[in-house]
Chains A and B, each alone.
Chain A
Amino acid sequence: MSIEALSYYLGLGFFHGLNPAMGWLFAVALALQHNSLRWIGRAVIALGVGHFLSVFCLCAVFILLGRTLPQLWVKGLCVSALFGFGGYWLFRARHPRWVGMNVGLAELVGWSFLMASAHGAGLMLVAGSSLCGKSFLPLPVQWDSLKLFFYPSVIHSIGYFFTVSILATLVFRADLLGLLYRKWINFDILWAISLFLAGIGTILA
Chain B
Amino acid sequence: MKWTIDPTFYPSARIAMESPPEKLAYVVALNPLALSGQENGRARGDVLAVIDLDPESKTYGQVVNRLEMPHPGDELHHFGWNACSSSLCPQSPHPHLERRYLVVPGLRSSRIYIIDTKPDPFSPKIVKIIEPEVLKKRTGYSRPHTVHCGPEGIYVSALGSDQGEGPGGIFLLDHFSFDPLGMWEIDRGSQYYAYDFWWHINQDILLSSEWGTPPMVENGVVGSLLMEGKYGHRLHLWDLKKRRHLQELDLGEDYQMALEVRPAHDPRKSYGFLGVVVSRKDLSSSVWLWFKDKQGWQIKKVIEIPALDASKELLPPLLQPFGKVPPLVTDIDLSLDDRYLYVSCWGTGELRKYLVDDPGNPKLVGCLKIGGIVSGFPHPKNPRKALSGGPQMVEVSRDGKRIYLTNSLYWAWDEQFYPGGIEGWMVKIHSTPTSFEFEKDFFVEFPGLRAHQVRLQGGDSSTDSFCFP
- Residue ranges of A at the interface with B (Cβ–Cβ < 8 Å): 20-21, 23, 25-26, 28-29, 32-33, 35, 90, 92-103, 111, 177-178, 180-182, 184-186, 188-189
Contacts and interface: CB of A to CB of B under 8 A. Distances in A.
8 contacts: A26-B90, A29-B467, A99-B91, A100-B204, A111-B91, A177-B15, A178-B12, A180-B11
B267 A33 contact: yes
A180 B268 CA distance: 21
B4 A184 contact: yes
Interface stretch (B92-100, B277-285, B371-379, B418-426): B92-100
Interface residues of B, number: 35
What 5 A-B pairs have minimum CB-CB distances, sorted nearest first?
A: A100-B204, A26-B90, A25-B90, A100-B241, A101-B202
A21 B96 CA distance: 12
Given A26-B91, A99-B91, A102-B203, A186 B3 contact: yes
Given A20-B90, A29-B202, A177 B468 contact: yes
Specify which of A29, A35, A180 lies most central, judged by the most chain B CB atoms within 10 Å of its CB.
Answer: A29
A97 B5 contact: no
A93 B88 CA distance: 14
Interface in B1-32: 1-5, 7, 9-12, 15, 18
Contacts of B268: 32-33, 35
Given A100-B240, A100-B241, A177-B12, A186 B94 contact: no
A32 B90 contact: no
Contact of B202 (A35, A97, A102, A180): A102
Given A32-B468, A181-B9, A184-B4, A93 B96 contact: yes
A100 to B, nearest CB: 4
B99 to A, nearest CB: 14
B469 interface: yes
A189 B1 CA distance: 8
Contacts of B467: 29, 101
Nearest to A90: B1
Interface of B: 1-5, 7, 9-12, 15, 18, 88-96, 151-152, 176, 201-204, 240-241, 267-268, 467-469
Given A101-B203, A102-B203, A186-B2, A181 B11 contact: yes
Contacts of B201: 100-101
A18 to B, nearest CB: 13
Nearest to A92: B176
Given A23-B90, A181-B95, A182-B5, 11 more contacts: A28-B468, A32-B469, A33-B469, A99-B91, A100-B91, A100-B240, A100-B241, A101-B91, A102-B202, A181-B5, A185-B3
A189 B241 contact: no
Nearest to A33: B202
A95 B88 CA distance: 12
B150 to A, nearest CB: 10
Contacts of B7: 182
A150 B93 CA distance: 30
A12 B317 CA distance: 74
Contacts of A93: 94, 96
B90 A95 contact: no
A181 B1 contact: no
Given A29-B202, A33-B469, A177-B468, A101 B1 contact: no
Given A21-B93, A93-B96, A189-B3, A178 B469 contact: no
Contacts of A21: 93
Given A35-B268, A185-B3, A186-B96, A178 B11 contact: yes
A103 B240 CA distance: 13
Contacts of A184: 4-5, 95
Nearest to B239: A100
B90 to A, nearest CB: 4
Contacts of A90: 1
A111 B89 CA distance: 14
Contact of B11 (A94, A103, A177, A186): A177
B240 A186 contact: no
A90 B469 CA distance: 31
A21 B92 CA distance: 7
A102 B11 contact: no
A95 B203 contact: no
B188 to A, nearest CB: 19
A28 B90 contact: yes
A186 B95 CA distance: 8
Contacts of A180: 11
A95 B151 CA distance: 10
Given A93-B96, A99-B241, A181-B15, A186 B1 contact: yes
A110 B468 CA distance: 22
Contacts of B468: 28-29, 32, 177
B96 A101 contact: no
Contacts of A94: 94, 176
A184 B202 CA distance: 22
A23 B241 CA distance: 19
A31 to B, nearest CB: 10
A94 B9 CA distance: 18
B111 to A, nearest CB: 27
